[in-house]
Structure formats: C-alpha cells, structure tokens
Amino acid sequence: MKGIKDQTYYEILEVSPTATAKEIQRAYEHAKETFHTDSLAVYSLFSEEEVKEIQSVIEEAYRVLMDETLRKSYDQSHFQTVGGQPLEKPYEAQGVSKEQKASLSFTGLLFNPEEGLSRGKTLKQVRERMGVELPTISEETRISIKILEWIEEEAFEKLPALVYLKGFLKSYAQSLGLDPQKVIEEYIRLMGESKKK
C-alpha cells in the first residue's frame, strides 16, 4: 500500500480524476469521518502524529480539488495524458467567484461544534462552495425555492410542519452529499434552541 505522501489527491479522497464537485464533497466528508481522532479504527492503527498528518493531507487534497484553478494546475503537473488523450473533466465551477471561495474556507466549517453542521447558513455555504445554485437543488429535490431559502435563512416561523421539514432537510442534505441524519438532528435541535430564546 502506498504511503499517504506517495498518493495523489484523488487517491487520498478515493475519487476518480474526473470526479465532480459533489463526489469530491461526499468523499471528503467520508474521509474526515474515517480519520476523526475519536475513531476506534484509526486509534488502533495510527499514532496521533500520523492521524494529524493524514487529516492535514485530506484538508489539502479537498482544498485543491474543490478550487477549479488549483485543480487544473494540479492535474497538469500530475497527469499529462490518460490513454494518449489529454485529461478532460466534466466539472465546472458554476459562477463561484474567487472571493467567495476564499471567504468560504472549508477548514473548520463543517466540523465546528460551536456552529453545527446544519445551521441554515452553513448549508448555504456548503452549497455555494460547491458552486450549486438554489434552482438546481429545487429541481433535483422538487422542493420550492422559497422553502429552501427559509431553511438557509433559518426562518423557522415560516417553515412547514416538522414531518414535512424533515423530508425536505433529508432531500437537501442528500443533494449536497451530506449525512441526512446529522443534518436533520442538528437543524431540529437548532430550531428548539431558537424557540426557547
């Protein structure tokens, strides 16, 4: 088995060089969870320093592969051609500006326990970071754009009954490649806290 330093960013995240932003996002979530410091499997296999090194390489791989410019230059330096053909990819960042990407640094965003994975604004940041527009999510999930906006804005008083909201959150989370159960649990908890205030 190759050491972590000998692997390409695609191998580290276990995705193909033609992976879309959504596939990379999903792989990143999985890798973060696998190499979390509390993971028993990781604890028995690697030292604390090794885990920290792996986590840092995962973050770097994610940062590069989610940024269109960095990914192109990484690909050019690592893959000249595949089967005699220049490497082409089906992904493109759909209008996410460099300023947005810089301000949406992912380190600490999803896994900040203070913030919570499922705050509306965090879901919005994940969506924007992936370069996905609300109409695209609406079309894929069949949830109205208004409801998606209310979820992101945390407009709890406008949201539908809990039984419907859970279904909407599940579909939204799946469309972003996030864990639906975590998203639902944390969003509902956030709603509860907000009502107490």
Domain locations in the chain as residue ranges: 4-86, 98-196
Say if residues 117 and 183 touch (Cβ distance below 8 Å): yes
The pLDDT assigned to 70 comes to 92
Over 90: is that where the pLDDT of 92 sits? no
pTM score, whole prediction: 0.47
Between 94 and 165, where is the model more confident?
Answer: 165
pLDDT at 48: 80
State both tokens at 39. Answer: 């993971």
Determine the Cα–Cα distance for residues 105 and 102; give it in Å rounded to an integer. 6
Q: Which pLDDT value is given to residue 40? A: 60
* Mean pLDDT, the chain, whole residue set: 76
pLDDT for position 49: 83
Looking at the predicted structure, is the pLDDT value of residue 85 above 90?
no
Model confidence at 196, in pLDDT bands (50, 70, 90)?
confident
Average pLDDT, stretch 170-196?
86
135 has a pLDDT exceeding 80: yes
The burial of 133, by beta-carbon neighbours within 10 Å (0-12 exposed, 13-18 middle, 19 or more buried), is given as middle
More confident residue, 33 or 66: 66
**Predicted confidence band at 44 (pLDDT cuts at 50, 70, 90)?**
low
Residue type, 163: V
Q: Does domain 4-86 have CATH number 1.10.287.110?
A: yes
Structure confidence at residue 149 as a pLDDT band (50, 70, 90): very high
The alpha-carbon radius of gyration of the chain (Å, integer) is 18
Is a pLDDT exceeding 90 seen at residue 146?
Answer: yes
pLDDT at 141: 86
In the CATH hierarchy, which fold is given to the domain comprising 98-196? 434 Repressor (Amino-terminal Domain) (1.10.260)
